[in-house]
Amino acid sequence: MKKFIVQIAGCNLLLSLLMVQHSSGNTSSTIQAIMNANTKLEKLVGGLKFTEGPVWHPRGFLLFSDIPADTIYKLTTNGKVSVFRRPAGHPNGNTFDTQGRLITAEHNRRLVRTEKNGEIKVLAQRYQGKLLNSPNDVVVKSDGSIYFTDPPYGISKEKEELGFYGIYRWQPNGTLNLLDRQMLRPNGIAFSPDDKKLYVSDSEQGYIRIFDVKLDGTLTNSRVFADLKEPKDKGVPDGLKIDIQGNIYCSGPEGVWIFSPTGQLLGKIIVPETVTNLAWGDNDYKTLYITAGQSVYRIRLKVRGQQPGRILDNRVSLNPKK
């Protein structure tokens, strides 16, 4: 184990980088290709209620959710925070679609899209006539279809109608398909760079599960990709993102866990609050923004992350209607 010290808020913070050897013993995957030893973790804002759902806006700022505050905030690179939308359906995960429109998973039991004129369009609210549980996180495939998870975190047991917690696919023609209902608490969700694999974290089981994506968009060959259980530490697999090399970054005990595409643990970014979600940002998408507890952090990396929606333009409304 190699250890590096980074500065945050005037204090020393341990950044633990685990060097993991391939089983063959003659090659190794290391963290040096991802970050420098003197990389700094920076706290941008604190004192909020419960931060989630960060996503980089193509006009050069971060959007993120505060679920109990019923707000989507805008955070500029100089640290200024303002309200982007309130009320906001008790928002959780956010992303952009292939046309640059904001997609939000709401704890108000809806998946919604912000149109170019600022109107809010409900994409999904019911499955087979029953209300969804609490849409949590969301990702857009390159064909424009939207995949999202639906655990029960935003509602009480008495309000559940479905009786299971699923992974869904919303197609541009309006069709909603249930893809999987076997995970206990499906949460974070992300595609591999080629769209052939789908990663989904299970916060109850403490692992990331991987699926093969078939040509018709359905899922097959479900298996465990990585185990993140550490009972002594706070934090569970929650939000996850992937860089253009296929490395997986997932919230977990102590902070952000970084895995190679083959499932090797490359290292951890230690964060002083419980991490909820992640987003790639800045003009080159080499900065990892982290929502954790009541705060938002960022850390500069050497590898580029995947852009949300894959095809972004700059016509996204800055004045969404309530």
d(CA 86, CA 251) in angstroms, rounded, equals 27
The arithmetic mean of pLDDT across residues 78-104, rounded, is 96
> Under a CB-based contact definition with an 8 Å cutoff, are residues 261 and 247 in contact?
yes
Question: For residue 244, what is the enclosing H or E element?
Answer: none
* Mean pLDDT taken over the chain: 88
**What letter does residue 314 receive in the DSSP assignment?**
S
Please report whether residue 247 resides in a domain. yes
pLDDT (tens digit, 9 = 90+) per residue, 186-199? 999 999 999 999 99
- Torsion angle in degrees (nearest 10) through CA of 252, 254, 256, 258: -90
75: in domain? yes
My answer on whether omega of the bond before 231 falls inside 30° of 0, hence cis, is no
pLDDT at 230: 83
Is 237 within 8 Å of 248 (Cβ atoms)?
A: no
**Is residue 148 in some structural domain?**
yes
Which among 75, 11, 32 has a CA at the least distance from the CA of 298?
Answer: 75
Place of tokens 């706290």: 43
Could you tell me if residue 248 is inside a domain? yes
Domain that holds residue 182: 2-300
**Structure-token pair, residue 197:** 């694999």
Predicted confidence band of residue 6 (pLDDT cuts 50, 70, 90)? very low
Q: How does 157-189 read in b/e, with b if 16+ C-beta sit within 10 Å?
A: eeebebeebbbbbbeeeeebbebbeebebbbbb
285 and 279 Cβ atoms separated by less than 8 Å:
no
In a domain, 290, yes or no: yes
pLDDT greater than 60 at residue 117: yes
Which amino acid makes up residue 188?
G
Number of structural domains, the chain? 1
Q: 116: closest CA among 314, 297, 285, 270?
A: 314
Q: How many CB atoms lie within 10 A of CB 109?
A: 21
**CB proximity list for 131: less than 8 A, separation 6 or greater:** 109, 125, 159, 161, 162
**How far apart (Å, rounded) are the C-alpha atoms in residues 115 and 113?**
6
pLDDT tens-digit map of 121-136:
999 999 999 999 999 9
- Tell me whether residue 308 is in a domain: no
Mean pLDDT is lowest, of 15-19, 207-211, 217-221, for 15-19
Q: What confidence tens digit (pLDDT) does each residue in 41-53 have?
A: 999 999 999 999 9
Residue 28 has pLDDT above 50, yes or no: no
Token pair 């643990």 is found at 265
Residue/partner pairs of 86-89 with CB below 8 Å, 24 or more apart: 86/322, 87/322
Q: How many C-beta neighbours within 10 Å does residue 49 have?
A: 12
Label residue 16 by pLDDT band (50, 70, 90): very low
**213 in any annotated domain:** yes
Q: Is 57 helix (H, G, I), strand (E, B) or coil?
A: strand
| CATH code, domain carrying 245 | 2.120.10.30
Q: Is residue 309 part of a domain?
A: no
Phi, psi at 32, each rounded to 5°: -60, -30
- Residue with the two structure tokens 């869904």: 168
Mean local confidence (pLDDT), 230-253 = 92
Question: Which residues neighbour 30 within 8 Å (Cβ) at sequence distance 6 or greater?
Answer: 19, 266
CA distance 182 to 184: 6
Residue 222 has pLDDT above 50, yes or no: yes
Task: Provide the whole-model pTM.
Answer: 0.89
